[in-house]
Amino acid sequence: MQGMGKMDMTTMPDRARGTKKMRLKNRFRKNAPELIWRRKVYIHHSEFDNKTHETMNTERLTELIPAEKIQERVTELGAEISRELASIDELTVVCVLKGGFIFTADLVRHITIPCRIEFIRASSYGTHRASTGKVMLDHHHDPHVEGKNVLLVEDILDTGLTVTRILEELRGHNPASLHVCTLLDKPSARTTPVKADFTGFTIPDVYVVGYGLDAAGKHRELPYVASLNA
Ligand code: IMP
Ligand code: MG
């Protein structure tokens, strides 16, 4: 009986899955030791084929940053920003849509400096997960930043292309000051040298969703950050 159990445990697919998970876990331990690793896996069944009732794509979401941990850090970030920019009497917070909407909404409630909220729409990914290398800005909603003290709020700094492009655009409108705040930072994925003034969490180069971040438009509503099919 015992032998049978062992054999079941070492079938190829299980071993392959285990190894991948261990690698991800080790990467997290190395790059982001402050994060709690929770082996909470959510299986999402999507794109159910109504015709055959057979084709079903499953997605494995592994929680990387729990909701409580995010809230704790957002509160700290708000305090940090309020302290460091205390000499500013009004902050123009520019939220990068769509990914930054939840983070911005939570963050501004922890900033004690009076704020005006503006939005800028940038897209570089389309529905693909790899960066297209081209950043598109939507000029229908150009933020009013001339002479303002600006805090740009992003969901994630990956290659750095998006923030670099937005900063270039904002600088063109002569703001009085310009700071960047990002919830997540993947420094190992950077191709353009850009740094945030305020960072929530530094994570390894894994694709994440939740708390505003999406994969082809999905999973933004999740209160936690999870890796997708890692
Ligand atoms: P960058 O231009 O490569 O720095 O990418 C920034 C943008 O790509 C972010 O604002 C996100 O919209 C998207 N992005 C990068 N990495 C991820 C990820 O892991 N999950 C979801 N979106 C991501
Ligand atoms: Mg984004």
Q: Give 182-203 pLDDT, tens digit per residue.
A: 999 999 999 999 999 999 999 9
Mean pLDDT, the chain, rounded, equals: 82
In the residue annotation, 158 being an active-site residue is answered as yes
Per-residue pLDDT tens for 39-95?
A: 455 655 444 433 333 334 677 899 999 999 999 999 999 999 999 999 999 999 999
Would 86 be classed as within a structural domain?
A: yes
Number of domain units in the chain: 1
- Ligand 1 lined by 162 (C-beta under 6 Å): yes
Laid out side by side, the sheet with 136-138 consists of 136-138, 115-123, 91-97, 149-157, 177-185, 198-202
The pTM of this model reads 0.79
Domain that holds residue 164: 79-203
Asked if residue 155 belongs to a domain, the reply is yes
Cis peptide preceding 98, ω within 30 of 0: yes
Q: For the domain that residue 190 is a member of, what is the CATH number?
A: 3.40.50.2020
What is the predicted pLDDT for the residue at 54?
35
Q: From the CB of 157, is ligand 1 less than 6 Å away? A: yes
Please pick, among 106, 158, 185, 214, the residue that the annotation labels catalytic.
158
Terminal Cα-to-Cα distance of the chain (whole angstroms) = 33
**Three-state DSSP class for residue 81:** helix
In a domain, 195, yes or no: yes
Rounded Cα gap, residues 134 and 154, in angstroms: 17
pLDDT-based confidence at residue 168 (cuts at 50, 70, 90) = very high
Residue 121 pLDDT exceeds 70 = yes
For residue 110, being part of any structural domain is answered with yes
Angle at the Cα of 167 (from 162 to 170), degrees rounded to 5?
125
CA distances for 3 relative to 6, 8, 11, angstroms:
5, 9, 13
Mean pLDDT of 165-187: 96
Domain annotation covers residue 161: yes
